[in-house]
């Protein structure tokens, strides 16, 4: 079997097909310009990675450009902390906006001018209804709305009031600027949507300069136009907003008219992808922060040990659709395993140590054994691993009364220690409580390297660490943050918080590692043989080695994909 079919990226998705046609037809003089437009009200998550890979990816494929634009129109929820984190995350993912970093707030004066033009042309008016009244007047999905009594204000009065809104003469909520479109439209978004609201809140970039702020839909459309964006790619929930997008670029008379195209957002099983909901996890202390390794944020995934390449591969493979679906999180884990398998050096580490004393091994003697650094990469070479009389093995690799299919260590049983010798268990030492504290074993000096000269069969191979040489490290094992496949599918009266997995973090304070790892820099990745891929916590203090498990070795997705291709 070559590659699993489900691992392949579709050759040309529907958006790339449109872009290819536009380029072939010479639309926009063959120019391709996209943008990634985050709102700086939280950290980026893996859903945003899909949008980043798409926007920057398409631009790169056509020799075009992709701008990074902060859609910073809501001063109350936005912060420079988020701006900085977003820039770091986009770069980490492997993309570069060169000198094309923009902020919608830089356009506030131009957007204001667009609004003034709309008023002059009779296409916008200042409404003094309360927020509640505006809601009532809007009608419902089945009933048309009603015109506001202020809808027919004169252009002069509208211009004057809008100017005074800007000057801060009115309190928050007393009036808004609305587009004058159609209160009976079948599309609720066209029932005179709000274009500007009063918000006497300082903005993280413009300070106290403005007391009015433009609404997202309006801002987004004209900002795209200002930047000559050819293809404005956004998620499906904006499909019903497209008529307003088009209205905004048409009626403001901006010189360039971008095209909005919607695609399905990424939904991932056992995962929440909404900044608002993730923010609550942070605020309520369900996680240690935005970069908690259990978070689906790019900063969390980075700290967990995910590689930018694995995220890009994942985004390419899930492809693009026009309908929402749920992607199996196992597919994401598969992508990171695949990348780390190729690049992570192997070492031996014992997570739950059990002491083993080799009774016939001379005290004080040390044997330096050769171990392969990466079987997938010969150039990675070998290293020496010290072997001595007292070792640690994994607790789970020993059973006093093993069931039939248990091929690891048991009383009287012989197993192989990886790269070392065959050992046989001769005795079990317990404490007063009956807990096993030590195994007594013998080793066969004729089996150095792990191969018995008589060819006798030994089924189990265990990893181990020499006690005297072991590094004491802290290891953090992570499980899914949510135990429900769709965390929002909860009983009435509950929300996604009820889906949190109480066992998503297991802290191991005295794991033992082979000494070659000493001094590993934060961010260094390894495979601990038989245990998974680990990274030296990039955000931990330097005095102790702390490892985060990125992912275990068991690949559920490879099994699913293999089944699918049978």
Binding mask 131-170 for ligand ATP (x = CB under 6 A): ----------------------------------------
Judged by CB under 6 A, which stretch of 36-44, 140-148, 436-444, 470-478 contacts ligand ATP? 36-44
Which of these is catalytic: 35, 39, 191, 262?
39
Question: How wide is the angle at C-alpha 531 spanned by C-alphas 527 and 533, nearest 5°?
Answer: 35
Which of 125-133, 273-281, 309-317, 405-413 is the region at the interface with ligand ATP (rule: CB under 6 A)? 273-281
**Does 265 participate in catalysis according to the annotation?**
yes
Query: Beta strands of 236-292 (E only): which ranges?
Result: 259-263
- Number of residues lying near ligand ATP (CB under 6 A): 15
Cβ proximity of 299 and 290 under 8 Å? yes
277 catalytic residue (yes or no): no
Specify the DSSP class assigned to residue 207.
B
From the CB of 261, what's the least distance to ligand ATP, in Å? 11
- Token duo for residue 229: 């964006």
Give whole-number Cα distances, 274 to 261, 263, 320, 338, in Å: 21, 17, 19, 27
39 in catalytic set: yes
Residue nearer to ligand ATP on the CB measure, 47 or 145: 47
Q: Which of residues 531-560 bind ligand ATP (CB under 6 A)?
A: none
Least CB distance from residue 52 to ligand ATP, whole Å? 8
Residues 481/270, Cβ–Cβ less than 8 Å = yes
| 47 interacts with ligand ATP by CB under 6 A | yes
The yes or no reply on residue 305 touching ligand ATP (CB under 6 A) is no
Rank residues 276 and 459 by Cβ distance to ligand ATP and give the closer one: 276
Confirm or reject binding of residue 123 to ligand ATP (CB under 6 A): no
Closest residue to bound ligand ATP by CB: 47
Touching ligand ATP, residues 217-246 (CB under 6 A): 234-235
Q: What is the 3-state secondary structure (H, E, C) of 57-79?
A: HHHHHCCCEEEEEECCCCCCCCC
Query: Which residue is catalytic, options 191, 197, 275, 476?
Result: 275
Is 265 one of the binding residues for ligand ATP (CB under 6 A)? Answer: yes
Q: Does 298 bind ligand ATP (CB under 6 A)?
A: no
- Candidates 64, 68, 73, 71; CA nearest to 89 is 68
Stretch that binds ligand ATP, among 204-212, 274-282, 408-416, 532-540 (CB under 6 A): 274-282
Quick one: 4 or 79, whose CB is closer to ligand ATP?
A: 79
Closest contact distance (angstroms) between CB of 72 and ligand ATP is 10
Q: Does 16 bind ligand ATP (CB under 6 A)?
A: no
Nearer to ligand ATP, 35 or 337 (CB): 35
* Contact status: 281 vs ligand ATP (CB under 6 A): no
Smallest CA-to-CA distance from 533 within 513, 548, 514, 511 is with: 548
Residue 269 is a binding residue for ligand ATP (CB under 6 A) = no
Closer to ligand ATP at the Cβ: 236 or 560?
A: 236
- All residues at 6 or more sequence positions from 211 whose CB lies less than 8 Å from its CB, including other chains: 165, 166, 167, 168, 198, 199, 200
Cα–Cα distance, 327 to 46 (Å, whole number): 12
Q: How far apart are CA 179 and CA 177, in angstroms?
A: 7
d(CA 495, CA 106): 38
- Binding ligand ATP (rule: CB under 6 A), the pick from 48, 178, 334, 416 is 48
Residues paired with residue 436 on neighbouring β-strands, in sequence order: 430
Residue 34: closest CA among 16, 47, 21 = 16
Q: How far is the CB of 136 from ligand ATP (least distance, A)?
A: 27
Which of 90, 175, 266, 316 is in the footprint of ligand ATP by CB under 6 A?
266
Closest of 299, 300, 305, 301 to residue 525, by C-alpha:
305
The answer to whether 487 contacts ligand ATP (rule: CB under 6 A) is no
39 binds ligand ATP (CB under 6 A): yes
Tokens representing 36 are 């990634």
Which span (135-143, 153-161, 270-278, 420-428) binds ligand ATP, by CB under 6 A?
Answer: 270-278
Tokens 């192989």 correspond to 416
Region from 197-205, 271-279, 499-507, 528-536 binding ligand ATP, contact rule CB under 6 A: 271-279
H-assigned helices in 344-489:
none
Q: Is 91 helix (H, G, I), strand (E, B) or coil?
A: helix
Catalytic residue among 257, 265, 408, 440: 265
Q: What is the spatial distance between Cα 91 and Cα 102, in angstroms, rounded to a whole number?
A: 15
CB of 97 to ligand ATP, least distance (A): 14
Within 10 Å of residue 70's Cβ, how many Cβ atoms? Answer: 24
Position 273 contacts ligand ATP (CB under 6 A): yes
In terms of CB distance, is 42 or 308 closer to ligand ATP?
42
| Stretch of 4-12, 107-115, 266-274, 343-351 lying at the interface with ligand ATP (CB under 6 A) | 266-274
Q: Which stretch binds ligand ATP (CB under 6 A): 24-32, 33-41, 512-520, 539-547?
A: 33-41
51 lies in the site for ligand ATP, by CB under 6 A: yes
DSSP character string of 284-342: TTSSSSTT-TTSSBHHHHHHHT--HHHHHHHHHHH---SS---B-HHHHHHHHHHHHHH
**Neighbour-count burial of 532, counting CB atoms closer than 10 A to its CB (0-12 exposed, 13-18 middle, 19+ buried):** buried
Q: Which residues bind ligand ATP (CB under 6 A)?
A: 37-39, 47-48, 50-51, 234-235, 265-266, 273-276
């Amino acid at each position: 079997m070559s590659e699993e079919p489900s691992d392949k990226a579709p050759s040309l998705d529907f958006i790339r097909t449109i872009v290819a046609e536009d380029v072939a037809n010479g639309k926009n003089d063959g120019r391709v310009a996209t943008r990634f437009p985050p709102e700086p009200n939280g950290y980026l998550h893996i859903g945003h990675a899909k949008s980043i890979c798409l926007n920057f990816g398409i631009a790169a494929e056509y020799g075009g450009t992709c701008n990074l634009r902060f859609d910073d129109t809501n001063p109350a929820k936005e912060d420079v902390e988020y701006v900085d984190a977003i820039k770091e995350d986009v770069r980490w993912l492997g993309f570069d906006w060169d000198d094309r970093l923009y902020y919608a707030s830089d356009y506030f004066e131009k957007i204001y001018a667009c609004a003034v033009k709309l008023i002059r042309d009779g296409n916008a008016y200042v409404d003094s209804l309360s927020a509640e009244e505006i809601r009532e007047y809007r009608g419902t999905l089945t009933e048309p709305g009603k015109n506001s009594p202020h809808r027919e204000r004169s252009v002069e009065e509208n211009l004057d009031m809008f100017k005074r809104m800007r000057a801060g003469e009115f309190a928050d909520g007393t009036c808004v600027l609305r587009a004058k479109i159609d209160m009976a439209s079948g599309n609720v978004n066209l029932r005179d949507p709000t274009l500007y609201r009063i918000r006497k809140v300082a903005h993280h970039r413009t300070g106290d300069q403005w007391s009015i702020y433009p609404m997202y839909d309006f801002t987004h459309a004209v900002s795209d136009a200002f930047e000559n964006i050819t293809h404005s790619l956004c998620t499906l929930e904006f499909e019903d907003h497209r008529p307003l997008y088009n209205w905004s670029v048409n009626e403001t008379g901006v010189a360039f008219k971008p095209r909005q195209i919607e695609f399905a957002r990424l939904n991932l099983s056992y995962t929440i992808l909404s900044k608002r909901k993730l923010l609550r996890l942070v605020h309520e202390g369900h996680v240690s922060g935005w970069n908690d390794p259990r978070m689906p944020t790019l900063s969390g995934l980075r700290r967990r040990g995910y590689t930018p390449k694995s995220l890009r591969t994942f985004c390419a493979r899930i492809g693009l659709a026009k309908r929402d679906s749920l992607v199996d999180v196992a597919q994401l884990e598969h992508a990171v395993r695949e990348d780390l398998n190729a690049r992570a050096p192997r070492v031996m580490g014992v997570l739950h140590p059990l002491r083993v004393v080799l009774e016939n091994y001379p005290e004080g003697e040390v044997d330096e054994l050769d171990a392969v650094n990466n079987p997938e990469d010969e150039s990675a070479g070998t290293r020496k691993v010290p072997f001595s009389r007292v070792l640690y093995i994994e607790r789970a690799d020993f059973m006093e009364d093993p069931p039939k299919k248990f091929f690891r260590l048991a009383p009287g049983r012989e197993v192989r220690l990886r790269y070392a010798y065959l050992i046989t268990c001769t005795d079990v030492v317990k404490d007063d409580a009956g807990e096993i504290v030590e195994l007594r074993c013998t080793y066969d000096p004729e089996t150095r390297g792990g191969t018995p000269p008589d060819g006798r069969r030994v089924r189990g191979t265990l990893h181990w660490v020499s006690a005297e040489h072991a590094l004491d490290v802290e290891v953090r094992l992570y499980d899914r943050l949510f135990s429900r496949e769709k965390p929002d599918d909860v009983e009435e009266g509950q929300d996604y918080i009820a889906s949190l997995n109480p066992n998503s973090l297991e802290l191991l304070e005295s794991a033992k590692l082979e000494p070659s790892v000493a001094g590993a820099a934060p961010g260094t990745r390894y495979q601990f043989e038989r245990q998974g891929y680990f990274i030296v916590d990039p955000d931990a203090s330097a005095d102790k080695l702390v490892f985060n498990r990125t992912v275990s070795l068991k690949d559920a997705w490879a099994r699913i994909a293999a089944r699918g291709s049978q």
